Chain A
């Protein structure tokens, strides 16, 4: 690199601000396009849902009735299913992803760091429908015959693990989504952990900390805001995940305390029913589900921002 420095850089005449302005304008309009897209999507969804919004009003959000035959629509079981399956996915994927990232940045021998990361990132390249098929034919039978039976046996006193076991279930949906968001959570966490300055660690070691203490005090606490951000990005992916979830969640619009019971998500019902919907109200109701999903996603992101801000802002937290 430094050898290229010998030729004098070509600078615009002093005082010309034209390139600066052009660049600023270009970047600004790019940002504006994204903002415009979001507004447009929101408007189109609202517009497409007009008839349903007028007919059902706020009742749409709290009703559990979804009956295309008698044209009665309510979104509650789908909202519930989306939130629960996404939260389950986060509960599984974040500890796993952060632990993997910690191993890769702090503990693993240098030779195997890159290969492991490549394998993790390969998960992201597997199409959703493949995860779904694998879910139906491999994961579900194993869950039904082993993990779920064991959970019911050992933790069956909790309402979460009661009721009949079908295999397809909210929990299966959560597990599939967890696998799918694992790559993004892991790779972002790894970048965050890598950006923790070496001085932090050295200082902790100098104080006589053990390796675990170094990770806990110097690394994790320094990176916690960034790691939270990684979890939020994973959650964003989880909320919208459609195909694989549809194939393993059971598609029953029902609210049940048991994680063994089938559920249904907003994205799944739209994907399932949109192509064959013919009545106006039906289509409008599906659009309104899209609008609800859109609103839930925005709401969660805003909430995450608020939480980030309240997570203490010392000098050590300017990670990203």
Chain B
């Protein structure tokens, strides 16, 4: 390297100390992108030697890119299928980061707080219950005057983790739903209109009297949408909050590979339609320097980072799960 180049590099280094930084690439889910971005921002303040680049291209893309090893970590809102996991060149781990809830919003005069159970919700989405004053809905909502109005079902048109959690729940509480539709990021909806993204669904609900739809809790909060209390596995009607989602996480059965579904979790305080989102990393890191930084970052994320979750409307992991995840992170080899 000649002297001029060296001087130039030094000059650049003086402006932005980027030259010595290690770049860690990630790609995947859009749902946790706001909190990941926040984590990366905060973490680079603590450890300026590392920089993150996260592409929120969707869970499908995240899975594909980590399988192809074009990124250092992937991110997904749904667990990978066995078939896809088998394509991994080395053991690929799921590590849950935060949880989110899906709420059922609607457009009814006076914005009453409705109570719904899973069977009713499934019947509405199957097109079996078509009027708001159906006995199944009225029975659960004494004191609310429901109109003789058609229910307009709205769902996501784009493939999404939100749809995965919602249909996972319906499949769990309704055998008929499981049989006829099943669960997935996109499904063949028996009825209703598709809106693109949370905004598309919310827009459709706001515009159409009598509409019902599902959106992320964070989105419903930020846009002040009314949403229903849902009946959980213990028979209690629970409002979706950060606390009721963390409660569901605490009672959910979590297997060793962390690929689990937490919908309809037991416990009096558990909100039933919620799910975690995962980071996908290889148990053995190829690049020791990157591997070390990644483990350090994840350790920080599960301790200090988790505390930032609630402010962004994500539910942090309960302490017991947090410890299990930390143990897993620390067993990553590099």
- The residue from B60, B195, B200, B203 contacting A275, defined by CB atoms under 8 A apart: B60
Q: State whether B158 touches A275 (Cβ < 8 A).
A: yes
Q: State whether B187 touches A67 (Cβ < 8 A).
A: yes
- The residue from B185, B188, B189, B200 contacting A276, defined by CB atoms under 8 A apart: B185
> A residues 268-317 with Cβ under 8 Å of B?
268, 271-280, 283
| A280 cross-chain contacts in B, Cβ below 8 A | 83
Is B192 engaged at the interface, CB distance under 8 Å to the other chain? yes
Fill in one digit per residue for A252-280: 1 if any B CB lies within 8 Å of its CB, else 0: 10000000001010001001111111111
Segment of A42-50, A134-142, A198-206, A222-230 engaged in the interface with chain B: A134-142
Is B321 engaged at the interface, CB distance under 8 Å to the other chain? no
What's the least CB distance linking B279 to chain A, in Å? 16
| B193 cross-chain contacts in A, Cβ below 8 A | 166, 168, 250-252, 262
Is A68 engaged at the interface, CB distance under 8 Å to the other chain? yes
A276–B188 alpha-carbon span in the complex (Å): 15
Is A60 engaged at the interface, CB distance under 8 Å to the other chain? no
Which chain B residue lies CB-closest to A253? B188
| B192 cross-chain contacts in A, Cβ below 8 A | 252
Known interface pairs A136-B200, A278-B63; A69-B188 also in contact (CB < 8 Å)? yes
Segment of B103-111, B176-184, B287-295 engaged in the interface with chain A: B176-184
Is A218 engaged at the interface, CB distance under 8 Å to the other chain? no
Known interface pairs A69-B183, A252-B193; A276-B58 also in contact (CB < 8 Å)? yes
How many of chain A's residues touch chain B, expressed as a range? 35 or more
A200–B80 alpha-carbon span in the complex (Å): 69
What's the least CB distance linking A146 to chain B, in Å? 14
A164–B210 alpha-carbon span in the complex (Å): 13
A85–B62 alpha-carbon span in the complex (Å): 33
Q: State whether A141 touches B194 (Cβ < 8 A).
A: no
> B residues 41-99 with Cβ under 8 Å of A?
57-61, 63-64, 78, 80-81, 83-84
Is B121 engaged at the interface, CB distance under 8 Å to the other chain? no
| B203 cross-chain contacts in A, Cβ below 8 A | 136-137
Q: State whether A276 touches B160 (Cβ < 8 A).
A: yes
A271–B189 alpha-carbon span in the complex (Å): 18
Which chain B residue lies CB-closest to A164? B150
| B182 cross-chain contacts in A, Cβ below 8 A | 69-70
Interface hub of A67, A268, A277 (most chain B Cβ within 10 A): A277
- The residue from B64, B184, B188, B196 contacting A251, defined by CB atoms under 8 A apart: B196
A144–B158 alpha-carbon span in the complex (Å): 24
Interface hub of A250, A268, A275 (most chain B Cβ within 10 A): A275
A132–B204 alpha-carbon span in the complex (Å): 12
Fill in one digit per residue for B20-48: 1 if any A CB lies within 8 Å of its CB, else 0: 00000000001000000000000000000
- The residue from B57, B80, B185, B207 contacting A140, defined by CB atoms under 8 A apart: B207
A297–B149 alpha-carbon span in the complex (Å): 43
What's the least CB distance linking B174 to chain A, in Å? 14
Interface hub of A65, A251, A273 (most chain B Cβ within 10 A): A251
| B63 cross-chain contacts in A, Cβ below 8 A | 278
Is B322 engaged at the interface, CB distance under 8 Å to the other chain? no
Is A231 engaged at the interface, CB distance under 8 Å to the other chain? no
Is A186 engaged at the interface, CB distance under 8 Å to the other chain? no
Known interface pairs A136-B204, A168-B193, A250-B193; A69-B158 also in contact (CB < 8 Å)? no
Q: State whether B157 touches A278 (Cβ < 8 A).
A: no
Fill in one digit per residue for A61-75: 1 if any B CB lies within 8 Å of its CB, else 0: 000011111100000
- The residue from A168, A252, A276 contacting B59, defined by CB atoms under 8 A apart: A276
A60–B300 alpha-carbon span in the complex (Å): 50
Is B161 engaged at the interface, CB distance under 8 Å to the other chain? yes
Interface hub of A65, A246, A262, A272 (most chain B Cβ within 10 A): A272
Is B186 engaged at the interface, CB distance under 8 Å to the other chain? yes
Which chain B residue lies CB-closest to A262? B193
| A68 cross-chain contacts in B, Cβ below 8 A | 159, 184-188
Task: Give the 3 A-B CB pairs with smallest separation, nearest first.
Answer: A275-B58, A251-B194, A276-B159
A-B contact pairs, 20 of them (CB 8 A): A67-B187, A67-B188, A68-B188, A69-B188, A70-B182, A137-B207, A144-B207, A167-B207, A167-B208, A250-B194, A251-B193, A272-B158, A272-B194, A273-B159, A274-B58, A275-B158, A276-B158, A277-B185, A278-B60, A278-B64
- Known pairs A144-B207, A275-B61; list 6 more (Cβ under 8 Å): A167-B207, A251-B157, A272-B194, A275-B30, A278-B80, A278-B84
> Which B positions have Cβ atoms within 8 angstroms of A?
30, 57-61, 63-64, 78, 80-81, 83-84, 150, 152, 157-161, 181-189, 192-196, 200, 203-204, 207-208
